A and B are shown apart, each in its own frame.
Chain A
């Protein structure tokens, strides 16, 4: 008896450590097109997972399924052990912050600050607390000087940073960024990636990050890279393992990181995959 109680607790802890569990998921675009068929994926709490795949591979659809924005045919999605259903969908969404590719569709406020406030009002945060929360969130994304501006007057990159601030203000346990950096300039993109790295350092296992991307230079920053195509899980592992599968990545319409492409052109060639820092070291030793 004792043993079984222990066992039960262990299972409970394990389930609680699972931010997202997807079990035998089935989803069809319409009666003719199947996207996911028996799809399985587990994401541990506190992990940073890069979900990569070409346009139309099913990445964004998966995010929408997790949020309950669209419904699967069959299978289960659980968020922190809570099974997604009509009854639980609101509670599940409270724990997930989502930044979409197109920031224009997620603006509601007349000013940048109002926009961040919108989610807080829905959450019924006392209005006296709001200015501080809003300032903090905007400071993290470097948009504090824009708080009285009209969102529609901002450039694409600035809008996206405000969208991230609106999500951060709600302190979700999971943040999903759906190609959120695709429209940013190199500087803006670096700021967002740096912000995500800081968030991971700050919140550690308290924050689960899912970045949907096809930019391998972004994927390399994650703890884990999951490659999907046509609703199938193609590769799953640490960045260095995934990037050494050149042929599979190419077959799935993905690019190799620049350094990997370069390594293929070099004579002599290094033994196996080197990241940028390792390649530079290798070349400087070769010269000596």
Chain B
């Protein structure tokens, strides 16, 4: 499912004296089957942006086209169900989207809601829970007894259980331990291999370089860059300072080395690249 934003503006409290404008003339494209990372400072409009993809928020002006579905200010609430079936979303705080008595019931909710039978929903839920690594011992426990990392996985299974073509995740790695983060990156790659379109918000540039095909950079509600991670992370250092964005850790360390007289032939973006470049440099001497 290709996603296009055309001159999308969004204000909270539009038309009132309290209106606060969040998105400004956002125009962007997300290709089908690709992994897109959305980055930018806190408050830059990233979460607001992604909530438009499944119609949780509607644009104040402009339009969003998700395959053949068009979302505008006047889109009726009733027809949004078609869109939501195709777009699964995992919010920033997964606890907020859990509600059922057991983990399994929670994950079954979406398929049931979209018309599956109980048996179909159960099968879909079990598959989704296995995919995100929630062991079957936990399926009949209350989701509220779980640890933060486990809750994240259950919320993710809930978003996957209706087999959506688009999966949206708002900072899915935040709060996960290193092992959980590695598993999450694997899950993203697995979803891509299944032909799904994945959009995720991240502050971790190492995750962006690891899995994203495309990066969208937001600042103050504007899209200020939309390109491949490789191209983005080779921009001038001053640009990153202006945007208050980090380089991947390898790039950050390379910059510190440069300031101390150790010059590498190019900017490394991963640990392996950095190690290779340092080893070559030391070898030459």
Asked if B33 is at the interface (CB within 8 A of a chain A CB), the reply is no
Closest chain B residue, CB of each to CB of A277 = B256
- CB contacts under 8 Å to A, within B92-117, are 92-93, 95-96
The one of B12, B47, B171, B275 in contact with A262, judged by C-beta atoms closer than 8 angstroms, is B275
Assess the B285–A56 pair: CB atoms within 8 A: no
The one of B150, B171, B203, B262 in contact with A284, judged by C-beta atoms closer than 8 angstroms, is B262
* A275 → B minimal CB distance (Å): 12
Chain B residues contacting A155 (CB-CB under 8 Å) are 42-43, 47
- CB contacts under 8 Å to B, within A159-205, are 179, 182-188
Assess the A55–B150 pair: CB atoms within 8 A: yes
* A105 → B minimal CB distance (Å): 8
Instruction: Knowing A179-B175, A280-B262 are in contact, say whether A185-B256 is a contact too (CB < 8 A).
Output: no
Interface residues of A, count at CB 8 A = 42
Closest chain A residue, CB of each to CB of B43 = A155
Assess the B275–A187 pair: CB atoms within 8 A: no
Assess the A187–B271 pair: CB atoms within 8 A: no
Query: Which listed segment binds B: A19-27, A234-242, A251-259?
Result: A251-259
Q: How far is the CA of A102 from the CA of B274 in the complex (A)?
A: 36
Assess the A286–B285 pair: CB atoms within 8 A: yes
Encode contact with B along A249-288: 1 for CB under 8 Å, 0 otherwise.
0000111001101100111100000001000110110110
The 8 residue pairs across chains A and B that have the minimum distance between CB atoms: A55-B149, A265-B275, A255-B178, A157-B42, A54-B177, A182-B175, A56-B147, A214-B177
Task: Please give the residue numbers on chain B whose beta carbons come within 8 Å of chain A beta carbons, in ascending order.
Answer: 12, 20, 41-43, 47, 92-93, 95-96, 145, 147-150, 171, 174-180, 203, 244, 246, 249, 253, 256-257, 260-262, 271-272, 274-275, 278-279, 281-282, 285
Query: Could you pull out 24 A-B pairs where Cβ atoms are within 8 angstroms?
Result: A29-B145, A54-B177, A55-B147, A55-B149, A55-B150, A55-B176, A55-B177, A101-B175, A155-B47, A156-B92, A214-B178, A253-B178, A255-B178, A259-B253, A261-B271, A262-B253, A262-B275, A262-B278, A265-B272, A266-B282, A276-B256, A280-B260, A281-B260, A287-B262
